[in-house]
Every structure is written in structure tokens, then in C-alpha cells.
Amino acid sequence: MTIRARIRLDRGDFLLDVDLHLPERGISALFGHSGSGKTTILRAIAGLERAPGGLVALGGETWQDDAAGIFLPVHQRPLGYVFQEASLFAHLSVRANLDFGRRRIAPAARRFALAPVAELLGIGHLLDRRPHQLSGGERQRAAIARALLASPRLLLMDEPLAALDLRRKQEILPYLERMHAELAIPIVYVSHAPDEVARLADHLVLLDAGKVVASGPLGETLARADLPPAFADDAGVVLDTVLAGHAPDALSRLDFAGGTLYVGRRHEPLGSRLRCRIHARDVSLALARPQGTSIVNLLPAVVTTVAATDVPGHVLVQLRVGASPLLARITERSRRDLAITPGQQLWAQVKGVALLT
């Protein structure tokens, strides 16, 4: 079962031409720079824009198939839509705003109740307030709750954190993670923020100038060495790790499929799953295990690919550390001096590990 979206829109100076097959579980992120077509895809899935000859389907349910004369209007598509701005009704309380979404659905078809959704998003104590009495993060959580209470089979989220400052983003991200973990509803999530996508997504679609340049599971897609220049600065990998223990020197041990990483002391319970990101620019390479180095994370690795980058004099080295991928961005001189070639065994020095959860 997949979410299918075949969309072609020609606007003269911009052509959007995509054929997406997204998993019907988890969060699929559409990532790209401004003007790459992310929001237009979301609007076409929702039925807010009609792409001639398009096809939009959720599992076995077709929402648009122009070849068969099918086009369901927005109100007949079982979806929720969360915009950049919360767009709550200013004259209604939070409770009344949430009830607006719930009343659209026949009682027998309601998948969510107000109380558990309010608890899930941490807004139970805000139900009697008006929107002007809420912070930006609280308003956006209320907007997400309203979308969920419409009992959607698909949730579309168009840069829901873009209008928030860093503090409010950090406030709302744990609620999005909790929603992801506890609700069996697929989400298509638009963003141009790399760390946000790395923290939340299961499946990643990279868009550039209206085209899909890569699509697949998050870890595999980010670790590709052949991504176009528009994504060079974001090259790196995302690893799913388990908090396995603590060292006596205020470090915590994270185990992953391929080795162990040490990071600053974590306070989650042992066994917690933590996602971390390693940028290619934070990985250096050595032919033998380094001695006398301040870098704690040293990993035995095998070279799989060496690729050119858009940065003059630099290359991207794709590695395997056990079952996990890793990327290193080094100079062409270093590649030449170390004679780095596919199949070679060497050591990766990880200078920075960013915990995303």
C-alpha cells in the first residue's frame, strides 16, 4: 500500500513533474530549497490545485485520475492539512476550534476523541483560551489537533514550524515525535530545514527545480554520494542508535548497527532509541587507527564510493561501518595522498555527533 502522486504542472517559467510512491506508514518528508515545488505537490494531493492528467491515490482509494474522469474535491478527501500559520478562528476558544474539525465527521467514523488528542499535544489546559492568549507553538499544536479531529487517513503538513522561532520549534518538535510514534496515520511533511527533516522523517524525497532527484528511506537517501550540488552542504548520515550505557567520564555510549559512538552524558533511560546526525564535513579519514588524538569516536570502515563534489578540490567518500553508511568530505589532495579507492579498509574519525532526539 502506497500514497501515489503523479503530478505535472507547467507554469511557463516553472515545470513541476513528479511521480511519487510514498509509504503508507510514517513520515514522508518533501525536502528542497524554496521554489522546488514542495507546497505545490501538497496542494495537488489535497485537491487545492488540479494537475491536468494527474493521479492521486491513497492505497486502493483514488482521489484523482483524469484518465478515468475522477476528481474528488477537497472536502471529500479524508485528509488533514496543517499550514505554516495556525489559522485558528480568533473568535472561538481552542475547544471550539477543535470541535469545528470534529463536527465534520459522522460520529461512527470518528477515529480520534478530543481528550486524548489534547493530551497527546499538551493542550488540555488551554482549551478555554482564545488564540490570542496562546504562544506561537501552542497555536500550532492546536491547529494540528484540529486537523487530527477531522479523522484524516492522511495528514499533510506544510512547513508547520517555519513561522516559529527556535525556542518554539524546540517546544513543538517533541510533540510531533510523540504523534509520529503513537498514531498510525501517514504524514507528508514539507520542510526546507535539514535538521528538522533528519529528526522526524522516515522516508525522504529530495526536490530540485520541480524534479525528484532522490527518494527512499531517510538513512539510505541522505547517505548517497551522487546527490546534486544543491544538497552538498547537507551531506551526511542519520543513524538510529540505542543508549547502551554511561562511561565514568561524563560520556554516554550509543550503539548502532556497525559500532559505538560516545556523546555527552544523556539522561534518557537506558535502552532509549536516539537518532543522531553526522555531517560529512565532520568526518576525517586515516589509514591506521589514530594514536594520540583528542577525537573519541574512531570507527573501522570500508570505502564503497568516491564521488566528485561541487566544491573545487574536494571529494565525497562513502563508507560502510558494519551495516551502517557514513560519508566523509575530504580534499582531493588527501584522497590522492591516502590513495583512497573503493574496497579499501581505513579508520573514520567522527569529530561531531548531533543528537536529534
Q: What domains sit in the chain, N to C, each tagged with a CATH number?
A: 2-226 (3.40.50.300), 234-355 (2.40.50.100)
Does this model's pTM top 0.85? My answer is yes
**Could you tell me which of 219, 223, 221, 186 has the C-alpha nearest to residue 207?**
221
Q: What's the pLDDT at 357?
A: 67
Distance between first and last Cα of the chain: 29
Are β-strands 324-331 and 314-321 bridged in parallel, bridged antiparallel, or unpaired? antiparallel
Residue 62, classed as helix, strand or coil, is strand
Beta-carbon count within 10 A of 231 CB: 20
Q: Which residues of the chain have pLDDT under 70?
A: 1, 229-230, 232, 357
Q: In what order do the strands lie in the sheet with 2-10?
A: 15-23, 2-10, 55-58, 61-65, 70-71
